[in-house]
Structure 1
Amino acid sequence: MAEMNTSAHRSGHGTSSNKKSTRVDMTPMVDLGFLLITFFMLTTTMTQPKTMSLIMPREDGDSMSLPAKKALTVVLGPNNRIAWYEGIGDDPSAPPQVHYTGYANNEGIRDILIHKKNEVAEAFHQNDLMVLIKADKRASYKNVVDIMDEMLINRVARYALVDINPAEEGFFK
Structure 2
Amino acid sequence: MSEIQSVGNSEKGGKKRAKKQSTRVDMTPLVDLAFLLLTFFVLTSTFSQPKVLRMIFPEKLDPKNKDIKQPEVKDGLTILLSDNDKIFWYRGALNAKTVLEETDYTKKGLRKVLVENNLPLLTQLRAFEKELNKIDVKDTASRSAIDIKVKEAQRDSKLVVLLKNDDKATYRNVIDVMDEFMITQIAKYFAVDEGMSGLEKKLITQKIKI
User: Counterparts of 2:61 and 2:198 in 1: how far apart (Å)?
Assistant: 26
- What's the CA shift for 1:54? 4.8
Structure 1 or 2: larger helix share? 2
- TM-fit CA distance, 1:66: 4.0
Of 148, 153, 156, the residue aligned with 2:186 is 156
Taking structure 1 as reference, are residues 103 and 49 closer, same or farther at Cα in structure 2, changes over 3 Å only? closer
TM-score (norm 1): 0.64
1:144 is aligned to 174
Gaps of 5+ in 1: 8-23
* Structure 2: gaps of 5 or more residues: 9-22, 124-152
Output the amino acid matched with 2:119.
Answer: N
Comparing both structures, which one devotes a greater share of its residues to strand? 1
SS in 1 for 2:186: coil
Q: Which residues in structure 2 correspond to 1:1-173 (within 5 Å)?
A: 2-3=3-4, 25-29=24-28, 32-33=31-32, 36=35, 52=54, 54=56, 57=59, 62-63=68-69, 65-68=71-74, 70-89=75-94, 91-92=95-96, 95-106=97-108, 108-118=109-119, 126-162=156-192, 163-170=195-202, 171-172=204-205, 173=208
- Would you say the 8 A contact 1:121–1:128 is kept in 2? no
How far is 1:29 from its partner?
2.6
Instruction: Say if 1:50 and 1:148 are closer, same or farther in 2 by CA, change over 3 A.
Output: closer
Letter in 2 for 1:146: D
**How far apart are the structure 1 equivalents of 2:185 and 2:122?**
13
Residue 39 of structure 1 and its aligned partner are, at CA, apart by 7.9
Relative contact order higher in (CA < 8 Å, ≥ 6 apart): 2
1:121–1:127: 8 Å Cα contact kept in structure 2? no
Identity %: 24
Q: Secondary structure at the match of 2:107?
A: coil
**1:131-155 superposed Cα distances (whole Å, 9 cap, x missing partner):** 1111022111111111111111111
Is the Cα contact below 8 Å between 1:57 and 1:63 reproduced in 2? no
TM-score, reference length from structure 2: 0.54
Number of residue equivalences: 148
Higher alpha-carbon Rg: 1
Contact 1:85 1:99 in 2 (8 A): yes
Distance 2:183 2:90 in 1: 20
Using the alignment, how far apart are the partners of 1:116 and 1:151 within structure 2?
Answer: 12
Q: 2:132: which partner in 1?
A: none
Q: 1:120 to 1:161 in 2, by over 3 A?
A: same
The AA in structure 1 aligned to 2:199 is A
Distance in 2 between the 1:118 and 1:155 partners? 10
Residues 100, 65 of structure 1: alpha-carbon distance in 2 compared, 3 angstrom cutoff = same
